[in-house]
Every structure is written in C-alpha cells, then in structure tokens.
Amino acid sequence: MIELDDRLGTARVHARDWARDLRGTALELDRDPDTVYRCLDNPAVRHLSRMLIPERWLPDRTLIGGYRFDGMTAMERVVFAEEIAAGDAGMLLASPGASLSGVLIDLLADQEQKEWFYGRLLAAPTWTFFALTEPDHGSDAGAMGTALDPDGEGGLLLRGAKRYIGNGARAQVGVVFARDRPGPLGATAVLVDTGAPGFKAEPIPTIGLRGAQLSAITLDGVPVPAARVLGRHLSPTRRGVWSGVQMFNRLRPGVAAIALGIARSAHDYVAEQRSSLSKAERLRWERTGRRIDGVRQLIWQAAAIVDAQPANGHLASAAKARAARLAEEVTLEALEYFGPGARLTQPMLDKLIRDARGVEFMEGTGNIQRLNTFQGLVQGKIGRD
Ligand SMILES: Cc1cc2nc3c(=O)[nH]c(=O)nc-3n(C[C@H](O)[C@H](O)[C@H](O)COP(=O)(O)OP(=O)(O)OC[C@H]3O[C@@H](n4cnc5c(N)ncnc54)[C@H](O)[C@@H]3O)c2cc1C
C-alpha cells in the first residue's frame, strides 16, 4: 500500500481546499465554457497555469505549504488532479497552462523551443492544445493523415484536420502531430502559433467535460518554421511514435485521477445532500467508498511505475480503464439516493454523469486501455494480482 509523504500530503490538503470554490462555478462553466476567463484568480486555476514549467524557467515559483510543486512527476499530477477534479473536472481542463503539451515539450523541445513556449506561458495567461485525433482517426492514431510538407523555402506547411481537441478554440499555442513521410517513423510533432495564417479552430457541441471546449481544427497550409519541429535534435526513432507513447504513459495516471475525482465528487455529494441514510444505503455508500480507495491505490501505483520507468504504461492503462468505469458507475449509482427524476432535480449529478462519460474517451478508450493492459500481462511487465 502506498502512502503519501509529507510533501504530497500537503499538496492534497491544499488542493482539496481550492476545490471547494470550484464547486461553486462548476454548473456555470458547464453552461458557458467562457466562465473560465472570470476564474483566473482561483488558486487551482493559478496553480494549473504554472504546472509543467520547469524550475529553470520559473525559479521564483510560489511555494505551497513550504513545498515547491511543478507537476513534473506523474505522482504529483495525480494527487492534484484527483482533488481539483473532485471540485470540477471541467475547470481542470479549461485552465490555461502547459497542460498535455507540457509533457511533450519537456520530452522533445530543444532550448530555443522551450524558451519560446515557456516564455509565452509566463508572459500572460496562455491556453495550449495538443492535437493528435483526426475526424476519422481517433484510436488508430497511426493512420493519421495530417501532412507536414516542405514549403520549398526552408520552412514547412501543415495541411489537414484535427477533432476533439481540448481548448483548441481558445489556445494561443499548441502542438500538432503530423506526418512528414510514410511509415511508423513518419509522425512528427510541431509547435504552432494559432495566429498563423491557415489555422482555424471552432468549438464543437459536447455534453460532457464542456469546460474543455473540444474543438475542430482546420490546417489549411499553416506555415511552420523548421525551428518549430519538436525533437529536431533527436533521431527519428526518438521523436515520433516513441515520444507519443512516452507522453501518453506519463499523462495516463493523471487522466485516471480525473475520473477518480469525478467519482469522489458524486460520492461526497450523496453524503452532503442526504443528511440521513437508511442502514442499507449507508452500507452501500461505504462499500463504494472502499472501491474509490482501492482505485486510488491502483492509480498511485501506476504513477509510481511511470515515474520510475516511463516506457511502462501498462499498469497506467489498467488504472485509467478501471477509474473511468468507476466514475461512470459511481455517478449513476449516486442518482439512486435521490429517487425518481433525480437527473432533473440534481443538476450537479447530471453534470458529473456526463463528465464521467467524457473521461472514457480521453487519452484512449477503455477498449484501447484493455488492449495495452493485456500486452503488459503477456509481456510480463505487470503482475496478475
Ligand atoms: C473530453 C475529451 C478530451 C479530448 N482531448 C483531446 C485532445 O486534447 N487532443 C486530442 O488529440 N484528442 C483529444 N480527445 C479525443 C480522444 O483522444 C478520442 O476521442 C479517442 O482517442 C477515441 O477516438 P474516437 O473518438 O475517434 O473513437 P474511435 O477510435 O472511433 O472509437 C470508437 C469506439 O471503437 C472502439 N475501438 C476503436 N478501436 C478499437 C480496437 N482496436 N479494438 C477495440 N475497440 C476499438 C473504441 O473503444 C470506441 O468504443 C479528447 C476526447 C474527449 C472526450
């Protein structure tokens, strides 16, 4: 069993405190994703906007409970993600900051690119996006069709379309995955300024995790200077599929923690709104609490493994699949404590149910995670117990 040390325990207490405020704006953000612009002073949002910026670029980071937190380890990210998502997963995804792109920048960017990226984030609240999914290629990212071709003058041009991209329409910078040649080594990630000609992003209608403002992006000959190709100083084997796998392994425990936070939010909601429970209800509620605690342990183990061996994301897949299912089951179960019509009378639970469904698709669906878990079992990289 993993227990948090004093530093991470401190993080948990502070983040739990911040999350209370987020509950107050959760339904508003769900109705109107632009609500985030009025919440930039919320401590959770401020923290997220500075996460994944290494110490070198932010030496005077505000300490929390006397400790420095930069979000560079999966373990730290899962502790914050669970607590902030228990306040509002929508706001966690709506916040400015390095977010998904930050892990890739840390893995692949050279000094000049880091200066450009972190410099933008530190100058003003800056939203970022990470664009891999395409209209016809979600789970099968290898079939990606977005092209990165030479422009004949030493630069490059991006052509294609991306879909379901978090914060796409509100971002100032982002990372786009594209193909610069056929075959498995042909995937490349480039830094993109959303003000570049040919870049267009529009929000798409969604029902869950609406704060994330999922967007459709069109890339119509977007110019990309050669200096913005991530991993240009690395061999092709290190910058394409390899970097994508490493990045998703590192992020996956955090997505699992978001699901866990949603489940906990629904579970806490029952305790807060139903002052007295029958004996049978109390036993059921406590059993669910133990399931939540069990999945938290799995997520912490997965995060510890990813921090020690970033190439081993198999347990992280098991954790993500388990946590996403937990979130769906616990949010639906919570309705049963409020009788017929609860989905109408308890709008917060309705939102949590929709958010839980959204997590199922983030960073690989349950089926894809189960395939990855199975490979880990077959290869002996994770145990059967
Ligand atoms: C809230 C949210 C945020 C997101 N943020 C981003 C983002 O920032 N950037 C980004 O690039 N993308 C993002 N996505 C997109 C997400 O990564 C995709 O939705 C996901 O990869 C699934 O792709 P798809 O929707 O095309 O579904 P599909 O791949 O078409 O899958 C449809 C169904 O088929 C099943 N399936 C597919 N292949 C297999 C297989 N081989 N074996 C068994 N079953 C299979 C899936 O499990 C699923 O049930 C986000 C999605 C959501 C919901």
Q: Which CATH architecture has domain 6-123?
A: Orthogonal Bundle (1.10)
Q: Is 164 in the pocket of ligand 1 (CB under 6 A)?
A: yes
Residues of each domain in the chain carrying CATH 1.20.140.10: 241-378
Q: How many A from CA of 336 to the centre of ligand 1? A: 29
pLDDT at 182: 85
Ligand 1 contact via 214 beta carbon (within 6 Å): yes
Q: Cα of 255 to ligand 1 centre, how many Å? A: 14
Q: What pLDDT was estimated at residue 83?
A: 98
CA torsion, ordered 164, 88, 15, 57, to nearest 10 deg? 30
Instruction: Give the residue among 38, 19, 35 at the shortest CA–CA distance from 27.
Output: 35
In the chain, CATH 2.40.110.10 sits at 128-235
**Residue 212: CB within 6 Å of ligand 1?**
yes
225 burial class (0-12, 13-18, 19+ CB within 10 angstroms)? middle
CB contact set of 217 (below 8 Å; sequence gap of 6+): 129, 131, 161, 162, 163, 165, 168, 176, 199, 200, 201
Of 29, 123, 352, the C-alpha closest to 37 is: 29
Say what percent of the chain tops pLDDT 70: 99
Q: Is the pLDDT of residue 133 over 80?
A: yes
Top mutation candidate among 362, 363, 373, 375 for ligand 1, by most atoms within 8 Å of CB: 362
Q: Model confidence at 299, in pLDDT bands (50, 70, 90)?
A: very high
Q: Which ligand 1 atom lies nearest to the CA of residue 139?
A: 29
367 CB near ligand 1 (under 6 Å): yes
Residues of the chain with CATH 1.10.540: 6-123
Q: Is the pLDDT of residue 238 over 80?
A: no
Which class is 128-235 in CATH?
mainly beta
2: pLDDT strictly greater than 90:
yes
Position 115 pLDDT exceeds 80: yes
Q: What is the pLDDT at residue 23?
A: 96
Q: 301 CA to middle of ligand 1, Å?
A: 25
Question: Which CATH number fits the domain 241-378, given the four candidates 3.30.2000.10, 1.10.260.30, 1.20.140.10, 1.10.3210.10?
Answer: 1.20.140.10
